[in-house]
């Protein structure tokens, strides 16, 4: 049996079972989280070269599977991100068992996990955005989660991958034309241009960022965190893999420069918009955009610091987003909303959730003593040497996000808006407390991540060059 078939098939099989259990949230959450965690463990411990004896079957992890004209293959480059998406899904499912994120999150979350994983395994790489479009169409149900009313978040999240994938398919066609006339530079230029357009839609950075705040404002928070992180992870993986597989792309675009400026504009603009927000969901969205801008800037710094720094920032981003999502989920559930007015005084009733919400949000801005601080501080130091104005813009953006959260804190510490607000569930506050401590530890001792970062960076560098 091929490893890729196992990695994709197991969540799909589990989704069918979980669909039947979806009315019993704790049971569905447990099964979903166990499957996702088991998958993460397996992919981490069984590398692509491994052959594993299962009862009655031999599992060859690196064996490719041909499906619908494309090859699905577990590679060392994709392995870390596969582990990441599965582990992320496990945490999100576990918390969703405590604070409901919609019944459909468990079965559809597993299907989405399978689709994101498929995008990481697909060869040729140019087909992966099509899978992201399928994921976007399915994500609509978990984003809306049965809530009547505005459909902006779901609709916008659906649009961008659907608009992006055609560029990659046509770029792939141009690449196929290269062997017919290898001396003609036109197909190379066209493919490079089309891929650049495709990535503009997929990255969802400013000015095409509308999906992110809409998603965080309307979707259940853990769903937002899962979708944002998985999508970002797959897109950044694709960007790295395509640049390594087709190194001539940099002859047509100064990718580092583009990423640097795209990141700076995203960070600056989202920081500016974060100042005036009055809802935690939207504020969290702009904070995550700011952090994503920082991540793009880190990638734009180029070798040798760019990729390791971006990797460590991505790990911190994951911790910060999940932490913020946990806090926001409990706040929305207990306070029946996330506007500053509704959340007024919630700090007294929901101390752990409010701490998680603030720690997660401020970490996205790189605030000291949060998990995001080491990455942002390192970035700022490098950037201040290479582009002092850019560093200033980044600092102003961070200040905007921090001011937004301070305004939120003022509301959270204010008079209680609703005396009926219940206290937070114990399991939820326990999970939030564990993640809070973990993020504090990672802030105080960021070197704990250095081995993981170098492993991931080394794995990402193994993408083979494609001969045309």
Partner 1 sequence: MPLLTGPWVVAGVGLCAALMVVLADWRLSLLAFAAQSVLLTMLSTRLLPLPWAALRMLVGGLVAVLWFLSARWVRWGRLRQGEGETGRPRLSLSPRLLIPLSSRLRWRGERWPLLSTVTLQRLLAVGLAGLLFFRLQGRLRLPVLPSDLALASTWLWLMGFLALALSEEPLRAGLGLLTLSAGFQLFYAALEPAATPVGLLGSLDLLLGLAIAYLMVARGLAGRPHLARRLGLPPLEGTSEEADR
Instruction: Provide the binding-site residues for partner 1, judged by CB under 8 A.
Output: 23, 25, 68-69, 99-100, 102-104, 130, 133-134, 137-138, 140-141, 144-152, 154-155, 158-159, 162-163, 166, 169-170, 173, 333
Q: How far is the CB of 119 from partner 1 (least distance, A)?
A: 14
Measured from the CB atom, the residue of 174 and 367 that comes closer to partner 1 is 174
Separation of alpha carbons 103 and 376, rounded Å: 36
- Tokens at 436, concatenated: 């809070």
Q: How far is the CB of 275 from partner 1 (least distance, A)?
A: 25
Measured from the CB atom, the residue of 19 and 382 that comes closer to partner 1 is 19
- Tokens at 295, concatenated: 């991540």
- Tokens at 100, concatenated: 């409901």
Instruction: Tell me, letter by letter, the H, E, C secondary structure of 378-401.
Output: HHHHHHHHHCHHHHHHHHHHHHHH
- HSE-up of 332 (CA within 13 Å, CB side)? 22
Q: How far is the CB of 148 from partner 1 (least distance, A)?
A: 4
Measured from the CB atom, the residue of 169 and 466 that comes closer to partner 1 is 169
Measured from the CB atom, the residue of 53 and 68 that comes closer to partner 1 is 68
* Contacts made by residues 51-58, CB under 8 angstroms, sequence distance 24+: 54/1, 57/1, 58/1
Measured from the CB atom, the residue of 173 and 258 that comes closer to partner 1 is 173
Q: How far is the CB of 187 from partner 1 (least distance, A)?
A: 9
* Contacts made by residues 11-16, CB under 8 angstroms, sequence distance 24+: 11/35, 11/36, 11/39, 11/110, 11/111, 11/113, 11/114, 11/117, 12/110, 12/111, 12/114, 14/110, 15/107, 15/108, 15/110, 15/111, 15/114, 16/107
Give the C-alpha distances (Å, rounded to integers) separating 59 from 72, 78, 123, 355, 446.
15, 18, 20, 44, 36
Q: How far is the CB of 32 from partner 1 (least distance, A)?
A: 14
Measured from the CB atom, the residue of 69 and 415 that comes closer to partner 1 is 69
Q: Across the strands, what pairs with 279?
A: 339
Q: How far is the CB of 369 from partner 1 (least distance, A)?
A: 32
Phi and psi, residue 407, nearest 5°: -65, -40
Separation of alpha carbons 31 and 17, rounded Å: 9
Measured from the CB atom, the residue of 76 and 124 that comes closer to partner 1 is 124
Q: How far is the CB of 69 from partner 1 (least distance, A)?
A: 4
Q: How far is the CB of 127 from partner 1 (least distance, A)?
A: 9
Residues 6+ apart with CB under 8 A from 454: 308
Q: How far is the CB of 146 from partner 1 (least distance, A)?
A: 3
Measured from the CB atom, the residue of 106 and 290 that comes closer to partner 1 is 106
Instruction: Tell me, letter by letter, the H, E, C secondary structure of 425-437.
Output: CHHHHHHHHHHHH
Measured from the CB atom, the residue of 418 and 462 that comes closer to partner 1 is 418
Omega before 426 cis (within 30°)? no
CA 81 to chain centre: 10
Measured from the CB atom, the residue of 183 and 451 that comes closer to partner 1 is 183
Q: How far is the CB of 101 from partner 1 (least distance, A)?
A: 8
Measured from the CB atom, the residue of 109 and 374 that comes closer to partner 1 is 109
- HSE-up of 423 (CA within 13 Å, CB side)? 7
* Pure H helices in 276-412: 280-300, 306-335, 346-349, 351-364, 373-386, 388-412
Q: How far is the CB of 183 from partner 1 (least distance, A)?
A: 18
Measured from the CB atom, the residue of 151 and 386 that comes closer to partner 1 is 151
Residues 6+ apart with CB under 8 A from 444: none
Q: Across the strands, what pairs with 2?
A: 60
Q: How far is the CB of 143 from partner 1 (least distance, A)?
A: 10
Helix count and strand count (H, E) for the chain: 19, 5
């Amino acid at each position: 049996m091929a490893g890729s078939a196992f990695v994709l098939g197991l969540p799909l099989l589990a989704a069918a079972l979980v669909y039947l259990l979806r009315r019993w949230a704790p049971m569905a959450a447990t099964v979903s989280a166990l499957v996702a965690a088991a998958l993460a463990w397996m992919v981490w411990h069984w590398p692509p070269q491994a052959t594993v004896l299962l009862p009655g079957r031999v599992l060859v992890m690196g064996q490719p599977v041909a499906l619908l004209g494309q090859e699905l293959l577990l590679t060392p480059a994709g392995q870390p991100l596969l582990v990441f998406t599965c582990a992320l899904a496990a945490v999100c499912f576990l918390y969703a068992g405590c604070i409901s994120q919609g019944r459909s999150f468990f079965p559809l979350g597993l299907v989405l996990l399978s689709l994101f994983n498929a995008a990481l395994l697909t060869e040729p790489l140019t087909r992966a955005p099509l899978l992201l479009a399928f994921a976007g169409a399915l994500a609509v149900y978990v984003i809306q989660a049965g809530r009547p009313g505005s459909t902006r978040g779901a609709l916008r999240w659906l649009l961008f991958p659907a608009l992006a994938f055609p560029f990659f398919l046509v770029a792939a066609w141009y690449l196929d034309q290269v062997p017919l006339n290898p001396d003609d530079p036109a197909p190379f230029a066209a493919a490079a241009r089309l891929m650049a357009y495709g990535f503009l839609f997929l990255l969802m950075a400013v000015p095409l960022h509308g999906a992110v705040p809409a998603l965080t404002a309307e979707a259940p928070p853990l769903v937002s965190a899962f979708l944002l992180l998985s999508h970002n992870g797959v897109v950044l993986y694709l960007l790295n893999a395509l640049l390594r597989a087709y190194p001539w792309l940099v002859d047509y675009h100064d990718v580092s420069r583009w990423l640097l400026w795209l990141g700076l504009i995203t960070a600056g603009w989202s920081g500016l918009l974060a100042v005036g927000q009055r809802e935690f969901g939207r504020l969290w969205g702009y904070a995550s955009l700011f952090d994503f801008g920082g991540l793009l800037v880190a990638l734009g710094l180029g070798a040798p610091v760019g990729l390791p720094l971006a990797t460590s920032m991505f790990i911190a981003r994951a911790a910060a987003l999940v932490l913020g999502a946990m806090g926001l989920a409990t706040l929305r559930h207990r306070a029946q909303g996330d506007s500053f007015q509704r959340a007024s005084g919630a700090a007294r009733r929901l101390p752990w959730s409010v701490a998680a919400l603030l720690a997660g949000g401020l970490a996205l801005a790189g605030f000291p003593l949060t998990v995001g601080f080491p990455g942002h501080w390192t970035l700022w130091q490098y950037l201040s040497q290479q582009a002092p104005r850019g560093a200033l813009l980044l600092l102003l953006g961070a200040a905007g996000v921090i001011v937004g959260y301070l305004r939120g804190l003022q509301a959270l510490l204010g008079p209680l808006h609703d005396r009926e607000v219940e206290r937070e569930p114990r399991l939820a506050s326990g999970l939030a407390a564990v993640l809070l401590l973990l993020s504090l530890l990672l802030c105080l001792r960021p070197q704990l991540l250095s081995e993981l970062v170098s492993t991931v960076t080394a794995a990402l560098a193994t993408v083979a060059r494609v001969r045309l």
